[in-house]
Amino acid sequence: MPEYTNSRQEIEMNYSLSRKEALGLLAVRADTEDGDATFVIPKFNYLAYRDNEKNSQANVYISLGAGGAEFKDDTDLVGLASVQADYETRRIYTLAHIETIQSSGGSDLNHFRYRAGFAPYVEGYEAIHTWLIGQVDYSPEMSDDWTVTPLVRVFYSNLLLEAGVSLKGDPFFALITHF
């Protein structure tokens, strides 16, 4: 999803091939401790596990990709691997995501994210939905500290918007749509 913070911006597009498989393109610019790095990575996403229950859904996704990075005026080859697990009811939501980008140069980028959220009200299919979410991010190449971001998620129809401000004061925005 398109995502913005002061130190990291990313945009991602995915095309579903089937219920379990999608092809994606991820572009990331990250302000690492060693300098700016820009990654462009085509990737393959695979739904490894899904559990549909009456009142919940749980998923595990795996992504693998290979692409390039621009870092310190060099172009590096990079590989990406990520795992994401989520669990959701109409009231609660939790997600864990771990991603590693390994480079032939010095532009490795690792990212861990955990989220937990709840819906203050439950509405029908056609309504505006709101979630309050706490997000924790850790990316050792960007900062030694964990970043905690309270955020609001609002979605209506096929448009989903997230906005928040980290406890350090950094803004966070994300936007998802699907066709």
Residue closer to another protein by CB (options 78, 174) is: 174
Under the binding rule (CB under 8 A), the answer on residue 55 touching another protein is yes
Contacting residue, 6, 57, 75, 104, with another protein by CB under 8 A: 57
Q: Total binding residues for another protein by CB under 8 A?
A: 26
Under the binding rule (CB under 8 A), the answer on residue 120 touching another protein is no
| 146-176 b/e (C-beta count within 10 Å ≥ 16 → b) | ebebebebebeeeebebebebeeeeebebee
Supply the minimum distance, in Å, between the C-beta of residue 18 and another protein: 7
Residue type present at position 87: Y
For 73, left (φ over 0), alpha (ψ -120 to 50), or beta? left
Q: How far apart are CA 87 and CA 94, in angstroms?
A: 5
Contacting residue, 4, 112, 155, 173, with another protein by CB under 8 A: 155
Contacting residue, 13, 35, 49, 56, with another protein by CB under 8 A: 56
Q: Are 10 and 27 in contact (CB under 8 A)?
A: yes
Q: Are 20 and 46 in contact (CB under 8 A)?
A: yes
Supply the minimum distance, in Å, between the C-beta of residue 156 and another protein: 9
| Beta-carbon-side half-sphere exposure of residue 25 (alpha carbons within 13 Å) | 3
Supply the minimum distance, in Å, between the C-beta of residue 9 and another protein: 23
Under the binding rule (CB under 8 A), the answer on residue 157 touching another protein is yes
Residues at the interface with another protein (CB under 8 A): 18-19, 50-57, 88-90, 122-127, 129, 155, 157-158, 160, 176, 178
